[in-house]
Chain A
Amino acid sequence: MNSLGIAIATETRKAAASLVFRMISLLLVIGTAALTVSMVLALRSGNEQIIARLAPFGRHEGWPLLTNVVTQIAAAGGLIAFAVALSWIVGREFADGTIAALFAQPISRG
């Protein structure tokens, strides 16, 4: 395995075991589901702001409506989740002091 492969495997192993990543995943799934239900209910009740926000998807029904709403929410939520996860990956090394162990390693930073 090359340096990049080892680095990715290492970070994946840490992420898979971390409570932070599990919580991020859980919140993303639950948050997306809750917001999707709210948006669809608001759409059906004739909320003009939501109708304007979802246009032209608001005209759809069933799966097309659901997938379009989920896509919009997941795009924004995913970006936030990515930012939190990335911040945690870097920040925890400094907070936990493990950054010192990551220097002087044969894994290139380049």
Chain B
Amino acid sequence: MKNVSIVVEQGEVHALVGLNGAGKTTLMRLMLGMLRPDSGSVTIDGVGVGAVVSSAWASVGHLVETPFAYAELDTTSNLKMAAQLRLTAPSAVGNMVGAAVEEFGLASFANVRAGRLSLGNKQRLGVAAALQHNPGLVVLDEPTNALDPAGVILVREAIRRRRNDGAAVLVSSHHLDEVTRVADRISVMNRGSIIGTLEPSTPDIERAFFAAVLADDETRA
């Protein structure tokens, strides 16, 4: 990963698009402190990611690759656990989980073990666990993976609500149509670098995306 500079502003959905292996997930891992860069820096609210006090992570919500879903626990228990890990007050956990179950259409599966959920419902559970505490910084890697059209709309609306409440949202996707519906800014990644930006209102965004990737590949060749 090199030549990467990206800012996620409050009240904004910033989308990362790129082909498989472009480095979207790696960049998200760097931003969340899961990986350490050889050079360069990542800051959250102006504080280096390695120096962020542990309590500040309570206002971060993320879903990177695998949903927060322990197979032996049911949907409600998983959400309660996620809320507790984000330091939610015990008295508020019940209401928070109830609201998340409602918002993400999980009521029918509230008492179903995560191991028995379909991929799509497990993904809903993961997104709910990442967003239920209304974080100020949201990092979602392919949040609509495996979701049915109804789930895609649920997640899209949930992201918009957090954005409208002032959250800074970074979301990766390779579904360009979906990205244009939710993003305020789009950065294009290719071979580990940010190679440009796209306007969400671009008429034929798929063509523009591939043109950018092709131009970058030709530059490197």
User: Is B186 engaged at the interface, CB distance under 8 Å to the other chain?
Assistant: no
Partner of A96, one of B54, B66, B77, B139: B66
Which residues does chain A contribute within 8 Å of B62, judged by CB atoms?
A: 101, 103-104
Give the distance in Å from the alpha carbon of A10 to the alpha carbon of B64 in the complex.
Answer: 20
Interface residues of A in 80-110 (CB under 8 A from B): 96-98, 100-108
Overall SS of chain A's interface:
helix
- Asked whether, in the complex, the Cβ of B68 is within 8 Å of the Cβ of A17, the reply is no
Partner of A18, one of B55, B72, B139: B72
Partner of A106, one of B34, B55, B69: B55
Give the distance in Å from the alpha carbon of A106 to the alpha carbon of B32 in the complex.
Answer: 12
- Asked whether, in the complex, the Cβ of A106 is within 8 Å of the Cβ of B70, the reply is no
B-side interface residues, number (CB < 8 Å): 33
Which residues does chain B contribute within 8 Å of A107, judged by CB atoms?
A: 54, 85
A-side interface residues, number (CB < 8 Å): 22
Give the distance in Å from the alpha carbon of A96 to the alpha carbon of B214 in the complex.
Answer: 36
User: Is A76 engaged at the interface, CB distance under 8 Å to the other chain?
Assistant: no
User: Is B71 engaged at the interface, CB distance under 8 Å to the other chain?
Assistant: yes
Q: Given A13-B81, A17-B77, check contact A104 B70 (CB 8 Å).
A: no
- Asked whether, in the complex, the Cβ of A103 is within 8 Å of the Cβ of B77, the reply is no
Which residues does chain A contribute within 8 Å of B107, judged by CB atoms?
A: none
Give B65-101 as 1s and 0s: 1 = Cβ < 8 Å from A's Cβ atoms: 1111111110001000110111100100000000000
User: Is B33 engaged at the interface, CB distance under 8 Å to the other chain?
Assistant: yes
Give the distance in Å from the alpha carbon of A10 to the alpha carbon of B129 in the complex.
Answer: 15
Q: Given A104-B60, A106-B55, A108-B54, check contact A97 B65 (CB 8 Å).
A: yes
Q: Given A106-B86, A107-B54, check contact A100 B34 (CB 8 Å).
A: yes
Which residues does chain B contribute within 8 Å of A72, judged by CB atoms?
A: none
User: Is B58 engaged at the interface, CB distance under 8 Å to the other chain?
Assistant: yes
User: Is A3 engaged at the interface, CB distance under 8 Å to the other chain?
Assistant: yes
Residue of B nearest to A107 (CB): B85
Which residues does chain A contribute within 8 Å of B54, judged by CB atoms?
A: 3, 106-108
Which residues does chain B contribute within 8 Å of A98, judged by CB atoms?
A: 66, 68-70
Partner of A101, one of B58, B68, B72: B68
- Asked whether, in the complex, the Cβ of A104 is within 8 Å of the Cβ of B32, the reply is yes
14 chain-A/chain-B pairs, Cβ below 8 angstroms: A10-B85, A13-B81, A14-B72, A14-B81, A19-B72, A98-B70, A101-B62, A102-B85, A103-B33, A103-B62, A106-B54, A106-B55, A106-B85, A107-B85
Question: A6-B85, A17-B77, A18-B72 provided; 4 other pairs, C-beta below 8 A?
Answer: A9-B84, A13-B73, A13-B77, A100-B64
